[in-house]
Homo-oligomer: A and B are copies of this chain.
Amino acid sequence: MPVGTAGSVKAVPQDMLESLGAQIILGNTYHLYLRPGHEAVRRMGGLHRFMSWRRALLTDSGGFQVFSLNELRKVSEEGVRFRSHLDGSSHFFSPEHSIEVQIALGADIIMAFDECTEYPADRNRAEESLRFTMAWARRSLDHFRAHKHEVPWHQSEAGVGSDEPRTQSLFGIVQGGMYRDLRRQCAEQLVAMDFDGYAIGGLSVGEPRELTLQMISEVLPLLPANKPRYVMGVGYPDEIEMYARLGVDMMDCVLPTRAARHALLFTSEGRLNIKNKQFAEDQSPPDPACDCPVCRRYTRAYLRHLVQAGEPLAATLNSIHNLAFYLGIMQRVRASLQAEC
């Protein structure tokens, strides 16, 4: 899933995302809550309509940003008090509030409010953090079940050809730090609560990749295979391919777009820092094996020039290629898994 933090996958127009084959993109609850505000988005009919995105949308719970962007946050059983990174104003997120905000935003998939355990965390800290996550998962689910019909598109789009009004799906998030037994315990309890899908969070937070893989391998078999299984915040191209082959259905990562804005291209020949002088007159496409709109039309020399000249088109073209590269990996994995069936 390309990441569209503030209602836009940075530098890439929506029609381009469609033509690249993006089926779902992610919005960040924390950012959209602060600006333009979830009530404004609700009044405008939800995030789909606001940003003109007709395909699927997922919002995170806001938890990750509250923890990563706020050094002065205060966590209690009740929830988290934090300061806006925009203007320093004080805000409070509880599980109920996170779900309320996410219902207002109206994404197709929303996430339980969790605490993303930092790395490294000792056993006591990981256990304490997990207690919050588990209590909050329960409260997220209860609040969601009581209020899910408040989704802004419920009135207008629900029930066409169906007896059941269409609502959002709520996913639970497995935490537990880097402790296998805590992870297992969390997964089993969440599955017992019967979420619509399950995510594995708290990974790609600085731990070695072996540990990431270990945690995923531990948890994945415990999650029902007939529901979506989502690993949050990963990863490099080889990682997403490996995890997909292990049975992970969904992943999100800012890497393809963020790296693009820093002139880093992912290609079939490895990573290119397109800013390097060696590309100054390189008239080959960014990735000779890629047939994205950028590789079909532009040269490495031109992309390098755009970066050097500080042209805004650099971010757009580099992001389009990197997203095409990531989406291409997933398309190939899907095809290969289907062939095995």
Contact = CB atoms under 8 A, between A and B. Distances in A.
A12 interface: yes
Interface in A1-45: 6-8, 10-15, 31, 35-36, 40, 43-44
B309 A7 contact: yes
Interface stretch (A163-171, A205-213, A312-320): A312-320
Given A6-B309, A44-B281, A52-B299, 15 more contacts: A6-B305, A6-B311, A8-B311, A11-B316, A13-B316, A15-B297, A36-B280, A36-B305, A40-B281, A43-B281, A50-B299, A50-B301, A51-B302, A312-B312, A312-B315
8 contacts: A7-B305, A8-B306, A11-B316, A35-B308, A40-B280, A44-B283, A44-B299, A50-B305
A53 to B, nearest CB: 10
A298 interface: yes
A293 interface: yes
Interface of A: 6-8, 10-15, 31, 35-36, 40, 43-44, 50-52, 280-281, 283, 293, 297-299, 301-302, 305-306, 308-309, 311-313, 315-317
A308 B36 CA distance: 9
Given A43-B281, A280-B40, A283-B44, A11 B301 contact: no
A15 B13 CA distance: 13
Contacts of A312: 10-11, 312, 315-316
